[in-house]
Amino acid sequence: MTAARERFAAEGYERATIRAIAGDAGIDPALVIRYYGNKEGLFAAAAEFDLRIPDAAGLPRARAGVALVDHFITRWEVDGSLPALLRAAVTNKAAAARMREVFAGQVAPAIAALCADRRTVPIRAGLIGSQLLGLALCRYILELPPVVGMSREAVLANVGPVIQNYLDALV
Amino acid sequence: MTAARERFAAEGYERATIRAIAGDAGIDPALVIRYYGNKEGLFAAAAEFDLRIPDAAGLPRARAGVALVDHFITRWEVDGSLPALLRAAVTNKAAAARMREVFAGQVAPAIAALCADRRTVPIRAGLIGSQLLGLALCRYILELPPVVGMSREAVLANVGPVIQNYLDALV
């Protein structure tokens, strides 16, 4: 799983091969096929991750925006599953479907715990997802120089209020 | 070029083949190779696009945020080059470098025309890029249901103020 996550994150879904992943792990590729069937099965298993969004009960309501950005950056940087899933989801339908499951099963419920108006939760969660994934895209994947060059504090100071706005403002 | 843009947009850089693109265009694949060398060369040619960001002189300053979102959505929807470039840039280093060129050569200058403080232009442009590309990612590529389901008016009403904030707020 570690080898698979690292390869998928570094090379993307299309270029990562079962042969290379098995090589990293020091096992026979046939063993990977026996357990996971094919690359899609291996990927879906590697992407069975938990975003571990902190329980909203522990978040001061007015600091939730900054806290969510901070948590997202940490998850992205310490766990290769999210980068791997995003890279794969851009060109692979099964991975995009898995991304929608993570969104519906983990992101939306966490946002629901922070919003009084249940009706607007999906749109708020979608807008928050758009800013956080766009931040990761520009900072870690496209590596746009000014976004790479921002300190973590600068990212929190600028993007935190946007997420807070998506939690609080009329939609 | 039309066939190349459509294939790169629909299938992503890795899966699109010169053979399929040549087939769509009704020409011999060898002819494509003769003119563009390889897939990377063909892609770079297909991605020679102009974002056509409207001249800031024509934009009311306080409406610039909404106008930029509106323009971005239109470019994305009518011209397959931007989707093709983003899909390719996620897994291909040459395409990511091309994306950084577009950012530096077209996005940053347009933002500069809207900002008094030249020093902060790159960061503002980077943050604006993160929100607009994240929006396109969630609405058109990952197809998160609540983001797909938003009307164009709802997108402008919610994301426009965020872009305006990135133009105006302290960074």
Measured between alpha carbons, how far is A12 from A85 in angstroms, rounded to an integer?
A: 8
**Shortest CB distance from B15 goes to which of A11, A14, A144?**
A14
**pLDDT at residue A56 in the model:** 64
The answer for residues whose C-beta is within 8 angstroms of residue B101's C-beta and 6 or more apart is: none
The full set of domain ranges for chain B reads 2-46, 56-168
Cβ separation of B134 and A132 shorter than 8 Å?
yes
pLDDT one-digit tens code per residue, B104-129: 999 999 999 888 788 999 999 999 99
**Residues with pLDDT less than 70, chain B:** 56-57
Cβ separation of A96 and B142 shorter than 8 Å?
yes
pLDDT one-digit tens code per residue, A74-106: 999 987 778 888 888 887 777 888 899 999 999
pLDDT one-digit tens code per residue, A106-154: 999 999 988 878 899 999 999 999 999 999 999 999 999 999 999 999 9
pLDDT band at A9 (very low <50, low <70, confident <90, very high): confident
Q: Exposure string (b/e) for A131-167, b if CB count within 10 Å is 16 or more?
A: bbbbbbbbbbbbbbebbeebeeeebbbbbbbbbbbbb
Query: Could you tell me if B95 and B47 are in contact, meaning their C-beta atoms sit under 8 angstroms apart?
Result: yes
**Shortest CB distance from B138 goes to which of A126, A154, A166?**
A126
Mutation target for A interface from B43, B90, B111: give the one with most A CBs within 10 A.
B90
Q: Which of residues 90 through 149 in chain B touch A, CB cutoff 8 A?
A: 90-91, 96, 99-100, 103-104, 122-123, 125-127, 129-135, 137-139, 141-147
| CATH number for the domain running over B2-46 | 1.10.10.60
| CATH number for the domain running over B56-168 | 1.10.357
Cβ separation of A135 and B134 shorter than 8 Å?
yes
**Distance of residue A25 Cα from the nearest chain B Cα, in angstroms:** 23
Cβ separation of B158 and A123 shorter than 8 Å?
yes
Which chain B residues are within 8 Å of A122, Cβ to Cβ?
145-146
Whether this model's ipTM surpasses 0.95 comes out as no
Cβ separation of B133 and A138 shorter than 8 Å?
yes
pTM of the complete model: 0.83
Q: What are the angstrom distances between the C-alpha of B31 and each of B26, B35, B47?
A: 11, 6, 19
**Shortest CB distance from B12 goes to which of A90, A131, A134?**
A90
